[in-house]
Amino acid sequence: MSLPNYGVLIGTFNRFEQEPPNDYGKWFHGFVFVNVNQAVFRCAVDVNKPDGGFQYMVLDLQPSLFTEISALQDGYHELTRDASSGAIDYVRSPIVNQAEGCLAAIYSSIGKILKGKDFLPWRPILWIENTGETALIILNNLVSNATRLYVFGAPFHNTNPIEDGMHDVHMNQGDPPGQFQLLDGIWQDGCVIVEKSGGVLSGYFGKFVTQSLNTDDNGLPI
């Protein structure tokens, strides 16, 4: 199966909040509030689990690989789950893979230059294990300086209180057998992409440590 709905919410930064560290539900979130056409949407971005077990990375992205999405008007847009719609896939998206590849190439070059030094082997560590409130601080700093926000994930609508927003703002594939695997699929990963002045793009990506980055065409771990 897959997520019931998947898309991107586009707007501008309103404010950032976090759940109380001693009073939250099953997961720990940072809340990014987004201005969209005179309404405010609440986006719940996962940053941790009660037992830790969460990883994140922040990447600089190439705007030329993001034109399908950046050309859209502010609002929520349902996305076709394929490579042509601008949907995000941590394993398959060129905008994610190219950014990772550039970092890996840089680290590899540095490693060759420093070969033989005591602190080798030198290798890129793209996924960072979250400790404490580190991911919250990183996410807050990232979105607070945005001129435009793009939140990928699943939309939600609450009736009491009336509230619209986004959740599943994390990797949505590669889960082990269990309650979440039925939601796995490709081209439906959640993330927060930030546009800064001058058109500079950066992205916050999160995953649970139990999720595999080696998945088949159904988004299931191989």
On whether residue 219 sits in a domain, the answer given is: no
Return the pLDDT at 124.
45
What the block records as the tokens of 46 is 């996962």
Which of 107 and 178 is assigned the larger pLDDT?
178
On whether residue 23 sits in a domain, the answer given is: yes
Asked if 194 and 179 touch (Cβ cutoff 8 Å), the reply is no
Query: pLDDT class for 6, splitting at 50, 70, 90?
Result: very high
| Nearest-angstrom CA–CA distance, 19 and 15 | 14
Query: Which pTM value belongs to this model?
Result: 0.87
Which of 143 and 118 is assigned the larger pLDDT?
143
On whether residue 215 sits in a domain, the answer given is: no
Q: What is the pLDDT of residues 64-111, one digit of tens each?
A: 999 999 999 999 999 999 999 999 999 999 999 888 766 555 444 445
On whether residue 69 sits in a domain, the answer given is: yes
What the block records as the tokens of 60 is 């600089």
Its domain, for residue 20, covers 7-208
On whether residue 220 sits in a domain, the answer given is: no
On whether residue 214 sits in a domain, the answer given is: no
On whether residue 148 sits in a domain, the answer given is: yes
Bond preceding residue 161 cis, omega within 30 of 0: yes
Return the pLDDT at 122.
38
| Nearest-angstrom CA–CA distance, 201 and 212 | 26
On whether residue 217 sits in a domain, the answer given is: no
- Please report how many Cα atoms fall inside a 13 Å half-sphere around the Cα of residue 141, on the Cβ side: 7
Tally of CB atoms within 10 A around 67: 10
Q: What is the pLDDT of residues 127-162, one digit of tens each?
A: 999 877 888 899 999 999 899 999 999 999 998 888
Q: How many domains does the chain have?
A: 1
| CA nearest neighbour of 221 among 179, 185, 175 | 175
Return the pLDDT at 153.
98
